[in-house]
Amino acid sequence: MQHSIATAKNDREGTPVAVLEAMASALPVVATRHAGIADAIEDGRSGLLSGGDVPAMAANLVRIRKDPLWRLP
């Protein structure tokens, strides 16, 4: 899970290494559509993306947990 937001000065991170490492390990990623994250993750395929709101992020975490297609062996 990577929940990223812009700072008050609108500073943004690039693509977080943790997201890339999770993907390289074949783990689903739940993250926000922020900076370079959306360039790395194909929503619905390699992970789930949401806006910066917490309820949407929580819903995606629940979806990953409940959906057998996202479960690891």
Q: Is residue 7 part of a domain?
A: no
Q: Is residue 46 part of a domain?
A: yes
Output the pTM of the full model: 0.80
Residue 73 has pLDDT above 60, yes or no: no
Q: How far is 42 from 57, CA to CA, in rounded Å?
A: 16
Copy the structure tokens of residue 21.
């490492």
pLDDT of residue 20: 93
Q: Is residue 27 part of a domain?
A: yes
Q: Is residue 47 part of a domain?
A: yes
Residue 29 CB burial class (10 angstroms; 0-12, 13-18, ≥19): buried
Residue 66 belongs to domain spanning: 17-70
Q: What is the pLDDT of residues 15-67, one digit of tens each?
A: 899 999 998 988 889 999 988 898 999 898 889 999 888 999 999 999 988 88
Number of domains in the chain: 1
pLDDT of residue 14: 81
pLDDT of residue 72: 57
pLDDT of residue 34: 85
Q: Is residue 23 part of a domain?
A: yes
Contact 24, 36 (CB under 8 A): no
